[in-house]
Structure 1
Amino acid sequence: MKRNCFILIVLINLLHCITVTGQKDHARNPVIWADVPDMSIIRVGNTWYMTSTTMHMSPGVPVMKSNDLVNWELVNYAYNTLGDNDALNLIDGRNAYGRGSWASCIRYHNETFYVSTFSSTTNKTYIWSTKDIEKGPWKEISFTPSFHDHTLVFDDDGRVYLIYGNKKLTLVELNADLSGVRPGGINQVIIEDASAPSGTDSGLGEGSQLFRMNGRYYLFNITWPRGGMRTVVVHRADRLNGPWEGKLIFQDLGVAQGGMTDTPDGRWYAYLFRDYGSVGRIPYIVPMRWEDGSTSGTLPSMPMTGHPSSHLIGTIYGIRPTEP
């Protein structure tokens, strides 16, 4: 048996109280009772930054910060106006209601913050960058086409990519200055059906968020099996162009779409949202645990006061992560 073959991530009961950095008391999900859809979170030192979706509303792509993953404050927006067309300007009988910009991605690379998104209303992909995420100024780059639900990837070899799509996920290489798609660069389908691990009758397979741990890539996606609930699927690979292997990792209360982050003291959390109808898509922080040496894929027992081990949900195989 290869020692590095299997690791178990355990996502603990969504309704269980959570304790995170700086919290003297337990916090309870959801951490924000408001519409904060399509979250993307990074940690820089002792501070987490989160972006979200504002769709047709401007200013857009709010930037929030937290020192404990529970209490968040709004500190900036990535843009004041997204574009100049009839739908966004509400003229000639047109509107962009429910459209505009979706599913942003936040990254920190070489002491610079990057926030990206896409819009079918303008048919463009946008990337904003700044050294000071709270005060700006932001530099904007936009190009065509609109890359649906993409994740921005700064790879170790210095090249930059997007992974995007719905069900069929594609890896596309960008110019080094992020000005657009690199001519002659990598542009290939890496996963034919991102929803496949959740069953044969699945829909969606989008909301890509990529993480690299110990030389391996982990790609989070949301699926929605027909007649079922929103579900988290994760694929892993040793190389960006694959091969990729996927697994259903989390299916509970329809909480899905997001990614993972760690704390300075080494604890791990998934961040996901739950659709509450008119309230909006509200954020959950879900504890994670990585375990060495499991090959069965079954859930281990975990002593939890008041919560039986059957409340542990979801597994993913991989290599134990380290500080990125």
Structure 2
Amino acid sequence: MKTLLLLITVFLSLGTIFTATNLAFSQEMQPGQENIQFIPVVPTEKSSVTALIQVFSLDIYCTNYTIDHVLSGHVLVMNVKTKTIPGGKCPMPAESYVSLRQGIGQLGFGTYDVKLFINGTQKAAIKLYVSQGQIEITATGKYTDKQGDAHIVGDVKNTASYPVRLVQIDVSFVNGDEVVADKKLYTTMAVLMPQTSSGFDLLVDSKNLSNMKYFVRADSFLKDTSKIQQGLKLSTESSWQSSSGIGMVSGIVLNAANINASQVKVVCVLYDQTGTGVLDSIFEYTNPSSIASGQSSDFVLSSHYPITSQFTPNCNAESPQLAILSTETVPEFAMPVIVFVASLTFMILIKKSLQIVNNP
């Protein structure tokens, strides 16, 4: 444990803070217990932090509760209090627990002791690490591919006011109290514009490490001074699961710049239905991969393995010539609504035309 704590102190002092889905850094929601976790899992001083609280209570299920937080130095206390439901009992919830959200805002650099109280009784305690660096670890996860190999995946965000490139991620594997292995990789996106993110996918090449606990940190990056032009507009239009369970994401990338773009790459991180865990990190080139000025190109991405639950994609795009200008997610009901409105308008016009014919 002393070795691990020493590493924590070093990472904090370097400003390249780490996160984990395990050990003292564990933020996984475990069924059957009241718990608390944070998004992002490792914020920077510029990140907006949100607490996610898992509570078992019929009163909570009926939204008859209050929630607040008190910050005193580096101690953060979350208080949840239930109220008596007037006029009857709360119906049985569909799930055995409910998840609550509480905005915390920005926090200063350092380690925070977080305590969760439900009706005055402490139910959970964890630590939250806030980095002095510019790269936040938004969320992480793990999956097993078709060959039976484990992958560590995640989403990282540039919270700086300037572009960064060559963001290197360090994944450390822990056995008991000792760090037994370190693996390094770069984010899938080469350049991250301010307030944009990229996924990463680490193949765990050793079976001995695949079941070990791990933590992730942003190891290094370079400030991009090339003044890359922004011009790619990405629209995520649809996400679904194929008959075999493979997660699919489709959309369009528009080149809004005055120059052509080649090798346009789309990177998507697939989040679980809670929005707190990463299921997969995928990328593909648009079809066609080159987009002339003022033109657009489609993309379709698929997950590395069957996904058994609902997911939400978070996508970004880049090319050697252009960076992302904007991203949006088009509601999947938008097109049917437009068609319906157009059909309704057409029917009204036909009806009015018939009235004119019958009443000259």
Name the structure with the higher strand share.
2
Task: Tell me the TM-score normalized by structure 1.
Answer: 0.24
The structure with higher relative contact order (CA 8 Å, sep 6+) is: 1
Task: Tell me the TM-score normalized by structure 2.
Answer: 0.22
Larger Rg belongs to: 2
Name the structure with the higher helix share.
2
